[in-house]
Amino acid sequence: MTSSSSEVTTNANGQENLLEVRDLQMHFPVTSGLVFQKTVGLVKAVDGVSFSIAKGETLGLVGESGCGKTTLGHCVLRFNKPTAGQIHYKGEDLTKASGRRLRELRKDIQMIFQDPYSSLNPRMTAGQIIGEPLTIHGLAKGRTDERIAEILTLVGLSPEMASRYPHEFSGGQRQRIGIGRALAVDPSFIVCDEAVSALDVSIQAQIINLLKDLQRKLELTYLFIAHDLAVVRHVADRIAVMYLGHIVELAPRDPIYDEPLHPYTKALLAAVPVPDPEVEMKREHVIIKGEVPSPLNPPSGCVFHPRCPIADEKCTQTIPELREVRPGHWAACLKV
């Protein structure tokens, strides 16, 4: 893999990387006192994460709530300025961008939010919501209404719906408006933050199919953040498993589901119900003991060792590196 900070890198298959994250850290200070605030600790929400996403690819990012998935997405979008590390987008380090240049880059990197009920302004019509990014980025040049109609049609809604308010739409329709808002400025890269988790299962399938269709039509690249492994399997090309601020496994979709390497990944997959009762009874069940430790005081060594069924003394002292165990299959575990 090419590692120059001024060049677009490529992956092992020779594909161009649209995004490359290197040793990313996002630590939030914890303070005490009302007047003379004193830092008493750091919440290590993201702690040394590295990965890349090829142009046109979907990387699924999965893990329990609180593991740092959304914070990582916010860093990529530069909602948060990372504590350390690099985020290269089309060869340019987003962590060093500011002012006008950051605004230009944000036009090309958009987000679809989790909750279609709270992410839309109830005082704005669907047309105004989709048209707002055009105004912000100076793209409203006499054909705003025409562009809004195009976007509504693209996401499966009627252009006549432009004058309706969010409360007049169903949950799935609201999320289509949210997708339309992200597409309005013609981005290349979209962060989908739990984009279907607030929807009914039948509607989830419709939105996932829409996202896949849009990816093919518009040559989009996705970072798809989710906690539901069953959903991610239908949309992602590769999957990164995150635990307590660290990526513990990264591999193409099928190897992750068929031959997981990390104990945490195995436990997550074991928790996914299987509709066939006979298969469900015969398969191995892995139970994770205890609770997720606080990111304010993470465990020494491997962050998963307090809950790991195969951990030993070495796991409590040594931080495992994310290494390539098989071609294209990376894991951070001393036991594999």
Which pLDDT score is estimated for 279? 66
Q: Does a structural domain hold residue 187? A: yes
- Give CA 288 to chain center in angstroms: 24
Question: Residues 258, 260, 264, 265: is their CA dihedral positive or negative?
Answer: negative
Dist CA 196 CA 112 (whole Å): 10
Is 60 exceeded by the pLDDT of residue 62?
A: yes
Residue 250 lies in a domain: no
* 218 within domain boundaries: yes
Domain that includes residue 145, residue range: 100-236
Residue 148 in domain:
yes
In a domain, 146, yes or no: yes
pLDDT band at residue 126 using 50, 70 and 90 as cut-offs: very high
Does residue 191 or residue 13 have the better pLDDT?
191
At residue 3, the pLDDT reads 40
User: Domain with 176 in it: what CATH number?
Assistant: 3.40.50.300
For 258, the enclosing helix (H) or strand (E) is: helix 253-258
Sign of the dihedral through C-alpha 155, 160, 163, 165: negative
In a domain, 267, yes or no: no
Percent of the chain whose predicted confidence (pLDDT) is above 90:
67
Burial of 244-281, coded b for 16+ CB within 10 Å and e otherwise, reads bbbbbbbbebebbbeebbbbbbbbbbeeeeeeeeeeee
pLDDT of 284 higher than 90: no
185 in a domain, yes or no?
A: yes
Has residue 193 been placed in a domain?
yes
Report the number of distinct structural domains present in the chain.
1
pTM for the model = 0.90
Among 132-141, 295-304, 316-325, which stretch is predicted with the lowest mean pLDDT? Answer: 132-141
